[in-house]
Structure 1
């Protein structure tokens, strides 16, 4: 298994698409910093009576939302890139156990997604706080950075979930386009549809959407999103695990039965 992990790590870090996706995550962080600077500048120029109306979405949560799609695409490309070039046949020749190959890919993608996601939200939060300072802009948390660590860890696990979901969808569909289309539907389209369902089902279904799980896992809820907040942290973790386990099991079965 160590050899399989080493091989998959070598493949992932030498793919050009990996650098591109991680670069886009860096751009997302840069945009959050720019948004923080603009919000601070706007606050300073507004009259006192208008400052209370200024609201900016939580920068770490916005970074998490955008980076989730980026890392989901990374998961897709980690499988589809090798399949598209036909190199997957060589991989299965060297490592006949297809389940081990899938597990190695999942392990490497999970570690990269977790580290990248955690770095993105930490940098966004730290630099955003430094720029905004003590300006009481609505939407920005005034809690100490250390007290937000559970939320940042939950966000990072959420990004791992999206990355592994992308990997499994690519293994199931064997098409980067189909996998990314499905991810965009889950990431963006589905929350909009659920948000327009009459109460109380909008909140009930919204609570199990992938994008709503991080806040529930950390116990902070989802005050600035379309998702609900009815799950306990343990239930949110279980749903998050199910989003990975079910497609992973389907991908493992199909890999074992289909030709490369």
Structure 2
């Protein structure tokens, strides 16, 4: 297993798409900071009455949201690039145990996603707080220590999308098809769910991937397109299922299908 993980790590580092994807994460982090500077500048020019409704938290949460898409794309490309180049045949010839190959790839991609997700999520929190300084934004009155666990949990959602990307890459063997599926789960499906009649919009919205980190942290989904009907333990279980069930299905398909 160690050799398989080392091989997958080498393959992930050897393709340009990995660096482009991580560069996109870093670029979006800079974008969040620039937006924070802009909002702080706007705040300085507002009257006292208008400042009462001025919020920053949705901007902070963009970090993990954007990282989820980028690492989902990385998960897809880590698989489909091997099918496109034919490298998958070499991999399976050297390492015939296909389940081990998939587990190693998931471990490597998941670890990269966890690091990137936590850096992006917590970095967005700390970076925007640094930019805000002592400006009394209505939604920034809680201490960093109070908000930090929420953002740490949000960072783990990036891993879910990365592993979904790996699973979809194996199941579909198509870069375009897998990327469309990731984007659909990441952004399109939540918007469609929001349009459902009550109470189905909240019921379905509570089990979508984007809704789970907030529920694990025990946060309300007020002013969100998601729901918050699950307990923290139930939300954590659903989150784990999103990561593992597609991966198990991908392992079954990979073991029964020609490369």
Q: If the length of structure 1 is used for normalisation, what is the TM-score?
A: 0.96
> Any stretches of 5+ residues in structure 2 without a counterpart?
none
| Contact preservation (8 Å) 2:122, 2:152 | no
1:188 match: 187
Q: Is 1:69 matched up with 2:88? A: no
Distance 1:110 1:259 in 2: 25
1:48 match: 48
Alignment of 1:49-198 (within 5 A): 49-138=49-138, 140-198=139-197
2:216 match: 217
Q: If the length of structure 2 is used for normalisation, what is the TM-score?
A: 0.96
CA offset at residue 47 of structure 1? 2.5
Question: Is the deviation greater in 36-45 or in 218-227?
Answer: 218-227
CA offset at residue 224 of structure 1? 4.1
Distance 1:130 1:208 in 2: 33
Distance 1:169 1:110 in 2: 14
1:250 match: 249
| Contact preservation (8 Å) 1:76, 1:179 | yes
Distance 2:60 2:113 in 1: 16
Question: Is the deviation greater in 140-149 or in 74-83?
Answer: 140-149
Residue-by-residue CA offset, 1:43-90 (whole Å, 9 max, x unaligned):
111223322243344333111111111110011011111111100000
CA offset at residue 149 of structure 1? 2.9
Residue-by-residue CA offset, 1:148-172 (whole Å, 9 max, x unaligned):
2321221122110000001100000
Residue-by-residue CA offset, 1:101-143 (whole Å, 9 max, x unaligned):
00000000111000011011121111110111232334x4332
| Contact preservation (8 Å) 2:61, 2:124 | no
Distance 1:237 1:99 in 2: 25
2:202 match: 203
Q: Secondary structure at the match of 2:140?
A: coil
| Contact preservation (8 Å) 2:56, 2:140 | no
| Contact preservation (8 Å) 2:98, 2:255 | yes
Distance 1:229 1:53 in 2: 23
Distance 1:163 1:176 in 2: 14
Count of equivalent residues: 259
Q: Is 1:227 matched up with 2:238? A: no
Residue-by-residue CA offset, 1:4-27 (whole Å, 9 max, x unaligned):
001101111221000000000001
1:27 match: 27
Distance 1:221 1:109 in 2: 30
2:14 match: 14
| Contact preservation (8 Å) 2:57, 2:140 | no
